[in-house]
Chain A
Amino acid sequence: MCGIVGLFLKTSTHRGELGRLTADMIHEVRDRGLDSAGVATFDGGDDATTRITVLADGREPDWSPTVEALEQVLEASVGVRPLHDHAVFETTGDGRIARQWIIDNLTDVEVLSYGSQIELYKSVGDPDLLATRYGLASRTGTHAVAHTRMATESAVTANGSHPFSTGSDTCLVHNGSLSNHNQLRLRLEQNGESFQTLNDSEVAAGYVSWRLNSGDSLEQALQAALTDLDGFYTFAVGTIDGFAILRDPISCKPAVVAETDDWVAMSSEYRAIARLPGVADAEVWEPEPARVYTWSLAA
């Protein structure tokens, strides 16, 4: 099982409601898995600041030593915004360097995301709890992906929840299971990617980030994934200005998409889409197997 949702707001009409609409969507598919949940939002706007979202699972540590250390490493000022067991560091420094420093030096802290637009929150338990605890309903922005998990491939922990993000302003949610992730993880690590879990879906996220960093478009990256990823999957991917869906050639895992002039929504089930504004006039369809679908704010 697992339930995934994605909402990509093509126009500004509903951008003030991104979080509330996403919370409503994930609520509708919460019974597809109550192990853990996560959500990534992309704010939109022109933001020169890099944000690094981290998780100190269940703890609320004093972040000031980390801020000081990061300022030295990045040679830039660093701010911090704690939110329960998460924290968002804000800096004009290099997010990739900050991520790697935290991975290498803070053993009990996970880097969930970094980039100028993305913030990412995850926890064990019901997605409704996650939405309430981290104030999802009040968030605004251009697009979001969220996941409610029934774990099969790794432990039920906050850091094993989706979305997974290894590269700047890029994240992925997955319904399914990959069978060649161990081999692929090694290959990606040889190419400079780093991972924080044993989860198969993190490898898929790392793969997409690696392809994007190598110069691929989102379309090209997912086209290549069809060759390099083995297993069952429905993916929803968010990038700084894009959104994509890919299903494996067998397509056992469900997916439905609805599109209006204002938005694109995808989910494991129509339930999650059924209450969106203007859905009565939406075009509703199922993504075809092994076909890459992408949308871009830049277009």
Chain B
Amino acid sequence: MSTTIDLAEVSLRHLNEMLHDAEDGVFKILNPRGAHAVACGMTAGLVVEVDGSVGYYCAGMHQVGTVVVRGNSGPGLAENIMSGTVRTTGNASMSAAATGCGGLVVIEGDAGARCGISMKGVDIVVGGSIGHMGAFMAQAGNMVVLGDAGADMGDSIYEATLFVRGEVESLGSDCIEKEMGPEHLAVVERLLETADMTASPGDFRRYGSARQLYSFHVDDIDAELAADAGGAK
């Protein structure tokens, strides 16, 4: 069953109520024209295909199912995603997959600033590059970036794992490069396959927490200085 909904004809609230009431099916959404909160809070295993660009918080609080945006996505794409898949074929604005607890967010183009901020278990795959402060205060999950990463990636990171194929402009406080083991290659391979992207896992470098900010030491006020001094305490 496929249902077409034209946002030039019906209200956003009507659309989201339809999606909340449905138990299954495929929904094609036309003329989003940058609307906010498209397909927000889905609670059933639907497939939602959006033909065009969306505004803030598309697929926010995504509990289950699949949302595909054939266009660009505004700030907060799939924020607080719990499971399921959200994909945008274009670029995503700032704070994509913010605080995501699970599931998969795929951005085929570039992601803006603070992609994966405070991520708590979501997997993020970005076909292009990410902006500054990616994975800020990230707590769990994986982020795979096929392009480059902007300044201060992984600042104050806890335990998420970041894989970047291109250049990293700079690492944030307490984020360091780590060795790429066979188990990490396997994670990248799995996520690339799931996201339907082609790249060689061996081309990626891994970044994660130096774990020097877990508890307060006065000497840690500038963790970069500590890292320069060998990171020993």
User: Interface SS of chain A: helix, strand, loop or mixed?
Assistant: loop
Which one of A34-42, A147-155, A237-245, A282-290 is at the interface? Answer: A282-290
Query: Interface of A with B (CB < 8 Å)?
Result: 28, 251, 254, 256, 269-275, 284-286, 288-289
Nearest CB in chain A: distance from B35 CB, A = 7
CA distance A288 to B75 in the complex (A): 15
**Structural contact, B55 and A289, CB atoms closer than 8 A:** no
A214 to B94, CA, bound (A): 36
Contact B35 A256 (CB under 8 A): no
**Which residues of chain B are within 8 angstroms of A274 by Cβ–Cβ distance?**
33-34, 52-53
Whether B33 and A256, one on each chain, are in contact in the complex, defined by CB atoms closer than 8 angstroms, is no
Q: Can you show 9 pairs from A to B with CB atoms below 8 A apart?
A: A254-B74, A269-B34, A270-B34, A272-B34, A273-B34, A284-B53, A284-B72, A286-B93, A289-B131
Q: Given A254-B93, A284-B53, is A289 in contact with B34 using a C-beta cutoff of 8 Å?
A: no
CB distance from B124 to the nearest CB of A (A): 18
User: Contact string, B41-58, partner A, CB cutoff 8 A, digits 1/0?
Assistant: 000000000001101100
User: In the complex, what residues of B have CB within 8 A of residue A270's CB?
Assistant: 33-34, 53, 55, 72, 74
User: A269-B74, A270-B74 in contact; A275/B33 too (CB < 8 A)?
Assistant: yes
A289 and B113 contacting across the interface, CB-CB below 8 Å: yes
CB distance from A249 to the nearest CB of B (A): 8
Given contacts A270-B53, A274-B53, contact A286 B91 (CB under 8 A): yes
Q: Complex: how many Å from CA A269 to CA B93?
A: 10
- Asked if B112 CB lies within 8 Å of chain A CBs, one says yes
Nearest CB on A from B226, distance (A): 24
* CB <8 Å contact, B34 and A285: no
Q: Which of B49-88 contact A (CB under 8 A)?
A: 52-53, 55-56, 72, 74-75
B14 to chain A, nearest CB (A): 18
**Contact between B53 and A254, CB atoms less than 8 A apart:** no
Check: B132 CB closer than 8 A to any chain A CB. Answer: yes
How far is A256 from B71 in the complex, measured between Cα atoms in Å? 14
Task: Enumerate the 6 nearest inter-chain pairs by beta-carbon distance, A residue then B residue, closest first.
Answer: A271-B34, A270-B34, A274-B33, A274-B34, A286-B112, A270-B53
